[in-house]
Amino acid sequence: MSQVMIKELVPRRELVDPGHLACPGCGAPLAMRLVLKELGEKTIVVLPACCWSIIAGPYPQSSLHVPLYHTAFETAAAVASGIRAALDVRGDTDTTVMAWAGDGGTFDIGLQALSGAAERNEDFLYVCYDNEAYMNTGIQRSSATPWGAWTTTTPRSQPQGTKKKDILSIMAAHRIPYAATACVSYPADLLEKVRKAKSIRGTRFLHILSPCPPGWKFSDEQSIEMGRKAVQNRIFPLMEVEDGIRWRFTMETDGDRVEPYIKAQGRFRHLTDEDMVRIQDEVNARWEYLERMVASSP
């Protein structure tokens, strides 16, 4: 996409201030910045414990220009349900309520509340920015950590031994009106999805891959490149699911080799050639599964 087209696509308003507290090269503030550009001022953000609790800034400051409710780790979807109910009861149906949680707050400890809210089809947008570990507490594994990765609780001698949880399928199985993946490296695709999500009522779920230099062990300036490699090599396919049944890829990929992605990150440094084959097989299998879902969509 050319520079000019991006400029036209991206709304000018800035609802995230540059003085936020993320590490250099962090994907998370970029994700928030893009999402809020699209959602606009009439948005209330619910933020459970995660890196963003820090990024948002300490009392009495805030790096956001929208109301923000910090909440306990596992409660984003429940608090968002409460805020939505309150707004509705008082006749405000056009403010968007957005829950914004990490992978830990979504895949793990917050999954129960999220499932409950999705089953009730609560009218809010739930965004999970996924940096594939508990970064706030110092890079511990989560169920979003990929197989083979080092974290501080999966040492190189015994790295992550489980597969990344398929959160998109879990959310699609709730038959919510909209579930999608996105990546900060593809702002046009991301903005398009937020625009679409904003226009829909009911539970909308957006899973954003958010590279983390200190957690994944790569240098700051490579974040966008890391996201591109994940998307282009089918490790993190960009897609959307409507009503849990209509699956669609939103971006073509130009490669299918995991190696360039895996080799670029220190968290995978210890992996052997066999490990690489195993990851490749895994990625191929999931890609085929997604192709089948797309092919069988009405």
Partner 1 sequence: MKKVIVGNHAVSLGVKLARVEVVSAYPITPQTQVVEMLSEMCASGELAARFIKVESEHSAMAACCGASAAGTRTFTASSSQGLALMHEMLHWAGNGRHPVVMANINRAMGPGWNVWTDQNDSLSQRDTGWIQLYCETNQEVLDTTIQAFKLAEAVDLPVMVILDAFYLSHTSEPVEIPDQDLVDEFLPRREARLKLDTSDPRSFGSLVRPEDYMEMRWDQQQAMTTALRMYEEIDADWKILTGRRWGAIEPYRMDDAELVLVTSGTVTSTAREVIDQRREDGEMIGLLKVKMFRPFPSAAIRRALRGVDRVAVLDRNVSPGHSGIFAEEIRAALYDVPPDDRPWLHGYVLGLGGRDVTPATIEEIIERAWAVDTPPREDLWVGLKT
Q: Which of 30, 34, 64, 139 binds partner 1 (CB under 8 A)?
A: 64
- Which residue, 227 or 232, has its beta carbon nearer to ligand TPP? 227
Q: Write out the binding residues for ligand SF4, residues 205-224 only, by CB under 6 A.
A: 212-215
C-alpha 36/C-alpha 70 separation (Å) is 17
| Residue 198 interacts with partner 1 (CB under 8 A): yes or no | no
Q: How far is the CB of 135 from partner 1 (least distance, A)?
A: 16
30, 32, 114, 135: residue in contact with ligand TPP (rule CB under 6 A): 135
Q: State the binding partner of 160 from Mg ion, ligand TPP, partner 1, none, CB within 5 to 8 A by kind.
A: none
Query: For residues 93 and 87, is the Cβ–Cβ distance under 8 A?
Result: yes
Binding site for Mg ion (CB under 5 A): 102-103, 131, 135
Choosing among Mg ion, ligand SF4, partner 1, none, which partner's interface includes residue 22 (Cβ < 5 to 8 Å by kind)? ligand SF4
51 binds ligand SF4 (CB under 6 A): yes
With CB under 5 to 8 Å by kind, the binding choice for 23 among ligand TPP, ligand SF4, partner 1, none is ligand SF4
Question: Minimum CB separation from partner 1 for residue 172, in Å?
Answer: 19
Our finding on whether 290 is near ligand SF4 (CB under 6 A) is: no
| Binding-site member from 22, 50, 78, 235 for partner 1 (CB under 8 A) | 78
Cβ 244 to partner 1, closest distance in Å?
19
Q: Quick check: 211 binds ligand TPP (CB under 6 A)?
A: no
Minimum gap (Å) between residue 43 Cβ and ligand TPP: 20
171 binds ligand SF4 (CB under 6 A): no
End-to-end CA distance of the chain: 30
Residue 116 sits in the site that holds partner 1 (CB under 8 A) = yes
